[in-house]
Amino acid sequence: MPLAAGCGGNDSGSVRALTIVVNAPFSKTPYIGETIARGVELGAAVTGPIDTKGGTIRLHVKRLDNALSPRQAIANVRRAVADGAVAIVDEGTGADASWRIADKAQIPLCVTYQGGIGLVDVERRPYVFRIAPTDRGIAFRLAEYVIPKRLRVAILTDDSAYGDEGRAALAKSFGSNPEAVAISLRLPANTPDLSPQVLRARRSGATALLVWAGPATIANVLTAARTRRWQVPVYTPPSGADPLVRQQLADQPRWVDGLTFASGRMTAELGPHAWRSFESLFESRYGPDVIGVKTSAGLDVVQPPEYAMYSYDFVSVLGAAIGQAGRKDRAALLAALNEVTVRGANGDERGFNLHNHEGVVDDDVYFARFDDMTFAPVQDDPLSSTLPVIKQTRE
Amino acid sequence: MDLALQVVVTGLAAGGVYGIVAIGHSLVFQLTGTVYLALGDLIGLGVFTTLLVAAGTGPITQTNVSSSRYLLALCVGVLVCVVVGAGGYALVVQPFLERGSTVGWIGATLALAFAIHAVIESVFPRSAYVFPDPIPFRRVGEAGFLTLAGASFSVRALYVAAVAFALAGLVAWAVNRTRTGRGLQAITADREGALVVGVPVAWLVPLAFGLAGAVAAVAAVVGAPSAPVSGQTGTLLGVKGLAAALAVRFGPPHYAFAAGALLGLLEAAVATVHLSGFELGPAYSQVLPLAAVLVLLAWRPPAEALEDVE
Amino acid sequence: MSAITTTRRALREAAADARRSWTGAAWLTVAGAGLAALVPFVVPSSVRLDGLAETGYLAVAAVGLGFAVGIGGMPSIAQGAFVGVGAVCAAHLVGSGWPAPAAALVGAAAAAVGGIGVGIAVVRFRAVYVAAATWITTWLFALGLDAFPTVSGGSRGLVVPPRGSPTIHYELALALVAAAMLAHRTLARSSFGLTLQAAAQRPAAAAALGAETARLRLQAFAGAAAAGGLAGGVAVQLLGVADPSSYGPSLSFQLLVAVLVGGAATALGPVVGVLVFAGLSLAADLLGGITGSETGRFGPMLAALLLLAVLTLGGEGIVAAVSSRLRLDRRRSEVGAAESSLTGASLEARALVKRFGGLVALDAFELEIRPGRMLALIGPNGSGKTTALRLLAGTVRPDAGEVRLDETDVTAEPTAQRVRRGLVRTIQSNALFPALTALEHATVGASLRRRHGALRTVLATPKARREARAVRARALAALRVVGLEERADELPESLTGAEQRLLMVASALATGPRVLLLDEPSAGAAPQDLDRLAGVLRALREGGLAILVVEHNVRLVRAVADEVVVLDAGKRLATGTPDEVAANPAVRAAYFGRQAL
């Protein structure tokens, strides 16, 4: 099926417009949705018109809200297919059902947030890509980091897809050290009062909490624990860095202190320069992402555009692939996607191949700890201690 | 002991709010013979209007709202509740009541409920919002917790329970001692008779509809800062209040309130209590109380619920 | 006769029946269905067949709900939960490798079980309580799905490997909608449906005619739930995921909106409602596409506004409005009346006592009626006459004493059982069903003797069809006895007062009674109508029935009663022929003495 003819493609002279659809929870968790979408839009703007043999191609971005509902996410993918999108950038909700639709329509679907293990499978799901830290990598690194501290961990996950996938990943990574796990509990995602579960974790003899859940649940767990004066260390996956956690606990900054999260490395091995220029590029277009909480010195806290980087990088790869495949069919685009490599926003090389559709290296995960509403890499982990601190306040 | 006190206090805090909502449901049923399916969303409207006036729609913290602004917001919220509640009755429920169409007012009340819900969700689409707390409870005791005989409980929860009880007492007093209240009682007992003796049924009933929502909204707003609120918070309150009211066959206010309080206690108990290792867990706490009410209705159907089989 | 011959004969009868009841509307429907089935092959691929199939499945659930609401009179707000039960069950089964159709059927069965469970509580309730209880049920289901992620798959839902192309789903949806509509129509016009409608309109009157309302409603409710479950079970295989957040109160509301907007009483109504709603959503989507705003959340709001608009306009729904405009006629009845054969039985009441709180309504009440005799029960207001009738009919249980029908002790038996034995009464207040024709009234009474239930009716087996014909014949016979045969297709509002009272008698007659209890049959009748009434009563008595009449009208009592019993303050005051009783000084004192005081 021709790429830029008829459905969805807008013929005006030799300039054709192709649409990238962003399928994310804009209403329910706006930070995640906005970040991903902004990365795509920035990428489209920076990529600019793509010159191919058959003419110039412009990238347009369309946002569809999935409201964290798998059904809505699938409906959005169907709609994207019907509108003839060139690619879908997906937050991940419902992707384990919607990938088939994208696959059948030969539209590349790139997940830029959720890291579930089974989501990406080069053999069976040739059109699914991911540029985001994988759950397997994060879970592995979490186990590697936490177990040597000889803590007994209570694993708390919520019942969302994010939490479920995390649970599976943690079961694998902690599988060979069962004595490190005091108890494993499943939290209801919609309940604000989690004191019964936290109490149960405490009764089981846990000396640390590993909360793999959405940001609201993490904040609720912290609330439940700290109001009972339980100063247990809390470890989380990247969702701990979500501004919602700090927003919900804004009047109790001491509760956020010490919260440690794992995340994909933002700055490159070569140094932070590329990241810093991406950051200023992002902020020149959208302004700094002020999240509404202040440090103890009264400075506004700003969120670095980490997830914007992943969706931005995908658009860069896509642009390069379109440039190579031109106006040929979708199979050619897929082939091009499996070949091109670009320099990512933070300076790392990004690209896919026929054996690997994961854009972020598995164990490229670092740890950061919150102090006074901002985070900094921890010093007791080899990789993290080499990383620079990213400035999160603006005067 | 520790657990028991916590369960009682948390349970009564939640149950007090359910009880006020149950009173609202009972009152409406006795006045008009209809079930106020939109009460929950009306409460949600009051809560979110208060939030809107107090703090806007952005991510906010629990402290940066002054008391005067908070009070203003509360007044606006109550006003909106009364207006929408009364207006909703007059425009949406009353026409079908007069026509005698049961399915009509059921559909209309549900439509009102979902319309209000849609408005709330469009202005406040996120999954959780933090409500401002004008009273600095966290300064009391240890971060808001007091210890009594080795057991600790939340001061805020106690405050909410106390306010709910006070509101319930206020409503009971108003119904029994004020003219308006007695007028409402008259309408409940004999509508035609009340009309004959000059009770202003035409605006008293809509007013009662609005006030039921407003009082319940006040109770909900008082309880709101305890946990993040979402668009569904109000609706769920309405459902649980309805369950409590059904359990006492839409009886007098003190019965309805007691049923609501019991519902809250049951919820807290099921969520937290463990007896010699056996524990139901929080999953059942949302489900068991409602299921219990349904089973109760099935096993002992109230006589008023059954059809007239003369 | 061999099986093949029997089958062939049955099929030929069925074809003849079908040809006889074929109407223009039926041709239209078949044409419409045929056109719709061709859609996937002629329209461009931009038409979203999967969206249409989804709408179709929704319509199946809506038709089921429409039956429960419109025919059964139960405003259920729980249909979304039953759709969810079917979907979750089917999703689990398909995930375990079951074939798609089996999974959907098991989902429907599970939903039916759920419907029975909820129905047991709900079917005896008034409409208000039905609404409240089903509202709580649908929330209970939604909260339950939230609370038990192993069942519901948590907020990610249960992923179902999709089975079937959109075209197959579209055709399947079309077939299911057609089947559901056919079932609705068949059942609504059958004895089952008429009895349900009668019970919805006048529950007391239907119960007096022996209708076992609770049992029938339970069947209707479970059937509606099964339809919802089937729809959910099949739809989930089209959607690819069972998303728990979509099977809650919102879906229940949307289905109810579709039913009310399109019209609850007809088979086509809910389908039209679903189509209107889908069309509106499409328009909103297009609007949102133009203005760039997010319209996904506007679904419930649209539904709410649509419903309010239709309800306010005085709606019985779109279909009803259109069909009244087109003046589509009611079906003409063309079955001949059966010969009526009346036999009587004796009724005896011994030492019946009934107290209401501290008040003794009846004390040591004794009575005896023989076949071919008419007894009048008279007395001043409040003397306990209606209480006596209620005790005899079984609506109320006595505190002491017994009631015997032909030497059988029926004191402990409920009304429906007594009606089956041949003891039936008419009730005092308005007992006519406003939306049923005279023939349909009598059919409700005649349905009592049905042995073949809803399932056979739906499948239109030869037995069920034969029985339906017999029922109709008995109904016509009852109408003929009271002289209303010519008015068989009229609604009660077009009958005169006297004809209305006669219709009540006819309904009771259609049950095949042996003892008839009439509560003030002359109430509201003009003097000239009394003669007609008296004539009918006398004919019935001569036919062999035992009749008990509670009456105020002295003329009628004199004209028809063999024996009179006088009640005063719950006690039997006097008994004898009308003349003897009229001359009795105690009776005069009871009637007039108090006034003198």
pLDDT of residue A5: 40
pLDDT of residue B243: 96
CATH architecture of the domain formed by C347-422+513-596? 3-Layer(aba) Sandwich (3.40)
CB pairs under 8 A between B and C: 143
Per-residue pLDDT tens digits for B145-185: 777 766 667 788 888 889 999 999 988 888 888 887 888 88
Q: Residue A49: CA atoms inside 13 Å, Cβ hemisphere, count?
A: 11
Nearest to A292 among B58, B145, B282 (CB): B58
Domain that residue B49 falls in: 2-305
Distances (CA, A) of C517 to A57, C104, C357, C504: 89, 50, 26, 12
CB within 8 Å: A28 and B127:
yes
Query: C68 near C196, Cβ under 8 Å?
Result: no
How far is the C-alpha of C173 from the C-alpha of B196, rounded, in Å?
A: 57
Least confident of A3-17, A273-287, C78-92: A3-17
- Asked, for residue B243, whether it belongs to a domain, the answer is yes
CB within 8 Å: A248 and B228:
yes
The answer to whether B120 faces chain C, any CB pair under 8 Å, is no
Beta bridge partners of A347: none
> Which is more confidently placed, A127 or C327?
A127
List the subunits that have 3+ CB pairs under 8 angstroms with C: A, B
For residue B115, give how far its alpha carbon lies from the nearest alpha carbon of chain A (Å).
Answer: 18
Nearest to C127 among B102, B246, B286 (CB): B102
**DSSP reduced 3-state for A16:** strand
CB within 8 Å: A188 and B128:
no
The answer to whether B281 faces chain A, any CB pair under 8 Å, is yes
The answer to whether B111 faces chain C, any CB pair under 8 Å, is yes
> Which is more confidently placed, B12 or B135?
B12
- Asked, for residue A340, whether it belongs to a domain, the answer is yes
Please give the tally of structural domains in chain A: 2
Residues on chain C touching A27 (C-beta within 8 angstroms)? 294, 297
Does residue A390 share a domain with residue A257?
yes
Least confident of A204-213, B281-290, C250-259: B281-290
- Asked, for residue A2, whether it belongs to a domain, the answer is no
For residue B269, give how far its alpha carbon lies from the nearest alpha carbon of chain A (Å).
Answer: 10
How far is the C-alpha of A223 from the C-alpha of A202, rounded, in Å?
A: 14
Domain boundaries, given as residue ranges, for chain C? 36-261, 347-422+513-596
Percent of residues, chain C, with pLDDT higher than 90: 21
For residue C439, give how far its alpha carbon lies from the nearest alpha carbon of chain A (Å).
Answer: 50
Helices and strands (DSSP H and E) totals, chain C: 26, 12
Percent of residues, chain B, with pLDDT higher than 70: 90
Residues on chain B touching A229 (C-beta within 8 angstroms)? 142-143, 145
Does residue A200 share a domain with residue A83?
no
- Asked, for residue A274, whether it belongs to a domain, the answer is no
Assess whether pLDDT exceeds 60 at residue B59.
no
| C69, C137, C139: best to mutate for the B interface, most B CBs within 10 A | C139
How far is the C-alpha of A216 from the C-alpha of C304, rounded, in Å?
A: 31
Largest pairwise CA distance in chain A: 70
Residue of C nearest to A7 (CA): C46
- Asked, for residue B310, whether it belongs to a domain, the answer is no
How far is the C-alpha of C338 from the C-alpha of C413, rounded, in Å?
A: 30
Please give the tally of structural domains in chain B: 1
The answer to whether C241 faces chain A, any CB pair under 8 Å, is yes
Query: B160 near B17, Cβ under 8 Å?
Result: yes
Q: What is the mean pLDDT of chain C?
A: 84
Assess whether pLDDT exceeds 50 at residue A10.
no
Assess whether pLDDT exceeds 60 at residue C294.
no
The pLDDT confidence band at residue A3, using thresholds 50, 70 and 90, is: very low
Does residue A104 share a domain with residue A28?
yes
How far is the C-alpha of B274 from the C-alpha of C411, rounded, in Å?
A: 51
Residue of C nearest to A77 (CA): C239
How far is the C-alpha of C550 from the C-alpha of A151, rounded, in Å?
A: 88
pTM, two decimal places: 0.89
Query: A94 near A74, Cβ under 8 Å?
Result: yes
**Pick from A95, A214, A144, A43: nearest CA to A384:** A144
Taken as a whole, chain C contains a residue count of 597
Does residue A369 share a domain with residue A328?
no
Query: A124 near A146, Cβ under 8 Å?
Result: no
Does residue A53 share a domain with residue A153?
no
How far is the C-alpha of B306 from the C-alpha of B98, rounded, in Å?
A: 22
- Asked, for residue A172, whether it belongs to a domain, the answer is yes
Q: For C74-98, what is the mean pLDDT?
A: 94
Domain that residue A237 falls in: 135-264+364-394
Task: Find the chain A residues whose C-beta atoms sit closer than 8 A to any C-beta of B.
Answer: 27-30, 68, 188, 190-193, 195-197, 199-200, 216, 220, 226-229, 243-244, 247-248, 250-252, 291-293
Residues on chain C touching A71 (C-beta within 8 angstroms)? 157, 239, 241, 243, 245-246
Per-residue pLDDT tens digits for B246-275: 999 898 888 999 999 999 999 888 877 766
Percent of residues, chain C, with pLDDT higher than 70: 90
Residue of B nearest to A30 (CA): B126
How far is the C-alpha of C445 from the C-alpha of C194, rounded, in Å?
A: 10
Residue of B nearest to A69 (CA): B127
For residue A194, give how far its alpha carbon lies from the nearest alpha carbon of chain B (Å).
Answer: 9
Does residue A222 share a domain with residue A154?
yes
Assess whether pLDDT exceeds 70 at residue A22.
yes
Per-residue pLDDT tens digits for A350-373: 889 989 999 888 888 999 999 999
- Asked, for residue B117, whether it belongs to a domain, the answer is yes
CB within 8 Å: A163 and C46:
no
The answer to whether C162 faces chain A, any CB pair under 8 Å, is yes
pLDDT of residue B21: 94
- Asked, for residue B273, whether it belongs to a domain, the answer is yes
Per-residue pLDDT tens digits for C562-574: 888 888 888 888 8
CB within 8 Å: B239 and C256:
no
Residue C324, number of CB atoms within 10 A of its CB = 10
What CATH number is attached to the domain comprising A78? 3.40.50.2300
Does residue A340 share a domain with residue A198?
no
How far is the C-alpha of C362 from the C-alpha of C571, rounded, in Å?
A: 6
Assess whether pLDDT exceeds 90 at residue C458.
no
Query: B207 near B87, Cβ under 8 Å?
Result: no
Assess whether pLDDT exceeds 80 at residue B281.
no
Does residue A368 share a domain with residue A241?
yes
Residues on chain B touching C312 (C-beta within 8 angstroms)? 95
- Asked, for residue B20, whether it belongs to a domain, the answer is yes
Does residue A234 share a domain with residue A215?
yes
Does residue A40 share a domain with residue A112?
yes
**Pick from A102, A99, A100, A124: nearest CA to A114:** A99
pLDDT of residue B60: 58
Assess whether pLDDT exceeds 50 at residue C471.
yes
Strands A153-158 and A181-187: parallel
The structure tokens listed for B233 are: 């918070």
What CATH number is attached to the domain comprising B12? 1.10.3470
Residues on chain C touching B119 (C-beta within 8 angstroms)? 301
Residue of C nearest to B94 (CA): C312
Residue of B nearest to A200 (CA): B272
Q: What is the mean pLDDT of chain A?
A: 87
Distances (CA, A) of A148 to A28, A377, C98, C132: 37, 18, 46, 57
The pLDDT confidence band at residue A111, using thresholds 50, 70 and 90, is: very high
The pLDDT confidence band at residue C12, using thresholds 50, 70 and 90, is: confident
Query: A131 near A311, Cβ under 8 Å?
Result: yes
Global ipTM: 0.93
The pLDDT confidence band at residue B48, using thresholds 50, 70 and 90, is: very high
Q: For C199-225, what is the mean pLDDT?
A: 90
The structure tokens listed for B177 are: 């001692």
The answer to whether C289 faces chain A, any CB pair under 8 Å, is no
CB within 8 Å: C156 and A71:
no
For residue B167, give how far its alpha carbon lies from the nearest alpha carbon of chain A (Å).
Answer: 24
CB pairs under 8 A between A and C: 71
Does residue A388 share a domain with residue A346?
no
The answer to whether B35 faces chain C, any CB pair under 8 Å, is yes
Percent of residues, chain B, with pLDDT higher than 90: 26
For residue C163, give how far its alpha carbon lies from the nearest alpha carbon of chain B (Å).
Answer: 33
Assess whether pLDDT exceeds 60 at residue C292.
no
| C77, C126, C129: best to mutate for the B interface, most B CBs within 10 A | C129
Does residue A313 share a domain with residue A164?
no
pLDDT of residue C380: 81
